[in-house]
Structure 1
Amino acid sequence: MINALQWIFGLIVAVSVVLSLVFSYRSRRSTDPISRGLNASRMNICIGLMLIFLALIQMVLFSGSTLRVIVGAVFMLLGLFNLFAGLRNHAHFTKHRSSAQ
């Protein structure tokens, strides 16, 4: 069970890293500010998910030393902040995209 959980969390982290790289590249190459903002917000969402799952790996799959719990809590807070900011910005730029068309 723990081994399967480790593989699933690892796979989610790997996919979110790849997606954050893709959205970062798209954001930097885009000339349209709305498209740039949407891709940057998607990148923030992916980074937030990556940090949350890294925190879950730290907290759930390994023995609970104090340092490991503190690092996991910091990753969890940063991940939740990135996820919230990305979702908020995505809603903002989606609203601007629909009003511009």
Structure 2
Amino acid sequence: MVNALQWLFGILVVVTVFFSAFYSFRSRRASDGRLRGLYASRMNISMGLMLIFIALIQMFMFPGSSVRVIVGAAFLLLGLFNLFAGLRNHSHFTRLMRQ
């Protein structure tokens, strides 16, 4: 069971890294400011999910030490902040795209 969770979280981290890089590239190449913001918000969402998955790996898959729990908690907070900011910006830029 633990081995399956390690594989699942590992695959999810790789997928979110791919999407972060993909949307980062598209954000930098977009000429329209609204598209640039939309792609940057999707990159933030992907990066937030990646950090959350890394935090879950750190906190639950290995024997707990104080340093590991602190690093996992920091990654979790950073991931939640990125996810929240990305979702907020995504809703803002999708409203701009509709106008």
TM-score, with structure 1 as normaliser: 0.97
Amino acid at match of 1:93: F
Aligned to 2:45: 45
Distance 1:71 1:63 in 2: 14
Q: Deviations over 1:60-97 (max 9, x none)?
A: 10001000000000000000000000000000000000
Flag structure 1 segments of 5+ consecutive residues without an equivalent: none
Aligned to 1:63: 63
Distance 1:19 1:69 in 2: 27
Query: SS of 1:62's equivalent?
Result: coil
Distance 1:20 1:55 in 2: 17
Q: Deviations over 1:46-69 (max 9, x none)?
A: 000000000000001000100000
Aligned to 1:85: 85
Q: Deviations over 1:15-69 (max 9, x none)?
A: 0001000000000000011110000000000000000000000001000100000
Distance 2:67 2:9 in 1: 21
Amino acid at match of 2:47: I
TM-score, with structure 2 as normaliser: 0.99
Structure 1 consecutive aligned stretches of length 4 or more whose deviation exceeds 3 Å = none
Distance 1:46 1:19 in 2: 6
Identity over the aligned pairs, expressed in percent? 66
